[in-house]
Amino acid sequence: MVKWFTAPETAAQLQIELDTLYRYARSGDLRGEKVGKVWRFTEDDIRDFISARGHHPTTDEIDRYSDGLANRLVARHVRPGDRIILGLPNSAAFVIACFAIWKARAVVVALDPAIRSTNLRHILERTEPTALIAETSFVERVQEMPGVLRFFRVFFLKDPSAALPETAQIAVESLQTAIAGDVETGALPAGARPDDLATITFTSGSTGAPKGVMHTHESTLECASFTLNFLELSKTDVMVVPLPLHHILAFRRFLTCFLAQSTALIAPDIFVALSQFPVLRPTGLVLVPAACNMIIDTFASFFRDNGDSLRYVELGSGSNDGLQVQVVDGQGQPVAHGETGEILLRGSGLLKGYLGDSQEALTSIKNNGFRTGDMGMMEANGDIQLMGRMDDILKVGGHKINPREVEAVLQRHPNVAEVVLVGLADPRKIMEVKLHAFVVPRKDAAPTAAELVAHCRLHLEPYKVPASIQFRGSFPKTPLGKIQRHLVTQEAQGAAVEEGDPSQGPNNPVGA
C-alpha cells in the first residue's frame, strides 16, 4: 500500500519552506498528486527529488547524454534550422537538452515553464516548432491550443505516462530514456556554421507582445568568450546562477562556465543557491538588480557569514571588446557627452535581428548597427546612464518629459519604494496628457499624496510635477523583477485617483 505524505510533512523531510515545496511541485521538479487544492507525495517522489538535486553531471556526461537526445531528435525527423521549444526549469536536463538541440543543428527556443498562455500561443505561432522538450504540465497547456499542434512532430517529456496519448501526428517519448539511449555513430548532421541560428530568445513582454531575439552561434560564442575573459574565469571557479536559464543572461553564463571548464550551480531559485554556499564555496554570483536588492534587504547576515569565498557579484558589465556603444540622435549621429539620445550598438556579439524582420532590417543591423530603443546619456568617462525607453517619453504642454526623471525624484523620498509615472488622457483636453504617478510605499510607511507632490515641487520644474498620485501595494512584474509598465498603464484607465490637493491646472497640483 502506498504511503502518502502531506505537503508540510514532505517539506519537513526535505528541509525546505512550504512555499518552496509548492514551487517545485507546480514546476514538476517534485512529482506528486494534487487532490483538489491539496498536494500529497509518496516516498518515491521524495527520493527521486533528492536524487535529482544531488547529481552534478560532468561536462563529459553532458556531452554523452546530449548525444543520446540529439540522436532521438534526428530520428524523429528534426532537421537543421528547426525550432525546438525548451520548457524545462533550471536543471541539468535543461543544459543537456540545449546541447542536444545544437548537435541536431536545430534552434533553441527556451521559454519560462510558467509563461502566460497568451504569450505561449503567440510564440508557438511565430516559431512553428517541430519538437518540444518540457515538463508534462507545460505540454498539457500546449495541448489545449489545437491550432498550434500541427507544427509538432514529437514531445520529449520527463513523465510521458502522464501526457495524453500520442497521435498519428505527434510522438511522445521519455526524456530520460532518450538521454540514456544508445548513440548511433554518424547519425548526427555536420556541425553548425557560425552564421546558423543558435537561439531565439523572447523578450518578457514588458512593453507588449514578446519579440524573438535571434542569435547565431558566432554571436553567442562571442558574448560567452567576452565574459570568460572579463571575469578571468578558470577551472577553480564556481559560479552560482540562480536566474532562469530561459533568460539570456543566465543562459550565456552557463556557456561561459563550459568554456572555462569551471563549475556552474544552476539553481532553481535564490533560496536553493544560498543553501549550497557552505558546501560549494562559490567564487561568483550572477544577479539582476532586483535580486541584489532582495539579498541586501533579506540576506545581509547570511553573506557576512558565508560570502567570504566570493570574488565577484555580477550585475552587468562594460561592452564586449569588439562592441562599440554610442548615444545618437534621430539621424544616427553621436550626441555630445551629457546629452540624451538613443543607444546604438555596433560590432561583434550583436543579435542577428528580431524574428520576422525583413531582410532589409537584418542587413541594416549588420551594416549600420542596432538601434536599441533605449534612451541613455554618455558621461565624459564613457559610462552610460540608462534613462528608459525612447517610446516612454511623454509630452505635456509641448514639453518632453522622461518618466524616469520624475520617478527618480519620487524614489529619493524616504517613504517611497517603487514608482511608475504614466500619461493619462486629460479629461479637460488642455494638455496632451496629465501626469499620474503610481507609488508603492516602503514597508510600514504611509506617505500622503500632498507630501509627495510637495517633494516633487522642490526638485522638478512645474510641468514635470504629477497631477495625481495613487498608492498601491505592488506592481506587475516579469519573473526577473522588471516592472511591466504597459500593464500598469492599462490598469490606470479608469483607476480611482487620489489627488495631491485641489489643483488649478492638470499638472499644477497644490496650487500654482
Residue 131 and residue 161 in one domain: yes
pLDDT in tens, 161-185: 655 555 557 888 888 888 877 666 5
Could you tell me if residue 508 is inside a domain?
Answer: no
CATH number at residue 332: 2.30.38.10
Confidence at residue 131, expressed as pLDDT on a 0 to 100 scale: 95
* CB 17, CB 7: distance < 8 Å: no
Q: What is the dihedral of CA 306, 311, 315, 316, to 10 degrees?
A: -170
Show the cell assigned to 452. 509627495
Confidence at residue 267, expressed as pLDDT on a 0 to 100 scale: 80
Give the domain extent around 360: 323-387
Give the residue-averaged pLDDT of 185-189: 69
- The answer to whether residue 57 scores a pLDDT higher than 50 is yes
pLDDT in tens, 397-409: 778 888 888 999 9
CATH number at residue 294: 3.40.50.980
What percentage of residues in the chain have a pLDDT greater than 70? 88
Confidence at residue 386, expressed as pLDDT on a 0 to 100 scale: 78
Q: Give the highest mean pLDDT range of 27-31, 383-387, 441-445.
A: 441-445
Task: State the average pLDDT for the chain.
Answer: 83
Confidence at residue 186, expressed as pLDDT on a 0 to 100 scale: 62
Confidence at residue 493, expressed as pLDDT on a 0 to 100 scale: 62
- The answer to whether residue 390 scores a pLDDT higher than 90 is no
* CB 213, CB 248: distance < 8 Å: yes
Could you tell me if residue 511 is inside a domain?
Answer: no
Confidence at residue 494, expressed as pLDDT on a 0 to 100 scale: 54
Distance CA 264, CA 280 (A): 10
- The answer to whether residue 499 scores a pLDDT higher than 60 is no
Residue 249 and residue 272 in one domain: yes
pLDDT in tens, 252-311: 888 999 999 888 888 877 777 888 788 778 898 888 776 777 777 777 788 888 788 888
Confidence at residue 436, expressed as pLDDT on a 0 to 100 scale: 92
Helix or strand holding residue 28 (H, E)? none
Residue 431 and residue 492 in one domain: yes
Residue 60 and residue 181 in one domain: yes
pLDDT in tens, 75-122: 999 999 999 999 998 888 999 999 999 999 999 999 988 888 888 999
What is residue 171's three-state secondary structure?
strand
- The answer to whether residue 232 scores a pLDDT higher than 80 is yes
Residue 363 and residue 400 in one domain: no
What is residue 331's three-state secondary structure?
coil
Could you tell me if residue 226 is inside a domain?
Answer: no
- Split into its structural domains, the chain has a count of 5
Residue 423 and residue 336 in one domain: no
Closest CA to 210 of 127, 140, 107: 127
Confidence at residue 448, expressed as pLDDT on a 0 to 100 scale: 93
| Confidence grade of residue 385 (pLDDT, cut at 50, 70, 90) | confident
| Confidence grade of residue 201 (pLDDT, cut at 50, 70, 90) | very high
Closest CA to 97 of 127, 123, 129, 131: 131
Residue 415 and residue 455 in one domain: yes
Closest CA to 428 of 491, 493, 506: 506
